[in-house]
Amino acid sequence: MIEDLQDELQQEQPQKKEKPQRSKGAFLFLAFIVWIIYAAVIILASLPKMIRAVRESNITETVANMEDIRMAAETRYARLCFAIPKQDGSASFVVCTQRIKKTGASEYHDVIEGLLSGPQSEALSIGAITYIAKGTSLIGLTVSEGTAFVNLSESFMDSGKNWGTGGLDTACKQITRTLQALDPNIKNTIIMIDGDVLSL
């Protein structure tokens, strides 16, 4: 009898329906989308004010000035000698002012490293080129009593190959004239290849 009563009570109580639960991942995804939309609206609303503030602060000029200061610390201007080939196979010389990197060594090193880097756009625009072979590196440089000793890598021997027999001599003159443009007291330049004196 007790069992019958319990069965009747269970039948009278309405059965609870289980609600489908939203997964936590879907809620987080929806929250992320809402956050993205909110951030985009804030950025779009404040963008004109931000642009105006940047213009009024002259930050672009400050950044440009800082870049100039950095470049002045890392580079210098130098007068470098390049060649302008003539139709008869000879060449004329032109001294161009270019910005070159400071190597941390002497000014003599800096100008020769700059020369080995080749002409920049301004020099190229007037037809100036270098006869010095690409890949030539400076091994050492010493100036003593009006004589510069310039030690270059083996690659220098390929200088001026495309310009006839006088090409190597023209490359040597580029080095001599570049050093003399820096220091008029340099009367002689001795070029060495891996420590051996170059004889033309």
- What SS3 state is found at 129? strand
CA–chain centroid gap for 7, Å, is 87
Q: In this predicted structure, what is the pLDDT of residue 5?
A: 47
- What SS3 state is found at 117? helix
Token pair recorded at residue 16:
């609870």
Question: Are the C-beta atoms of 180 and 141 separated by less than 8 Å?
Answer: no
All residues at 6 or more sequence positions from 82 whose CB lies less than 8 Å from its CB, including other chains: 93, 94, 95, 96, 119, 123, 128, 129, 130, 174
Question: Are the C-beta atoms of 79 and 178 separated by less than 8 Å?
Answer: yes
Give dist(CA 177, CA 78) in Å, integer.
12
Backbone angles phi, psi at 37, to 5 degrees: -65, -45
Give the CA diameter of the chain: 130
Express each pLDDT in 50-105 by its tens digit. 777 777 777 667 666 666 666 666 888 999 999 999 888 789 999 999 999 888 77
pLDDT along the chain (200 residues), means of 10: 53 53 74 88 83 73 64 82 89 94 87 95 93 95 95 94 84 96 95 91
* Closest of 144, 79, 133, 74 to residue 111, by C-alpha: 79
Token pair recorded at residue 171:
């490359």
Q: State if pTM tops 0.75.
A: no
- What SS3 state is found at 99? strand
Q: Which residue has the tokens 């190229």?
A: 124
* Closest of 42, 48, 128, 123 to residue 91, by C-alpha: 128
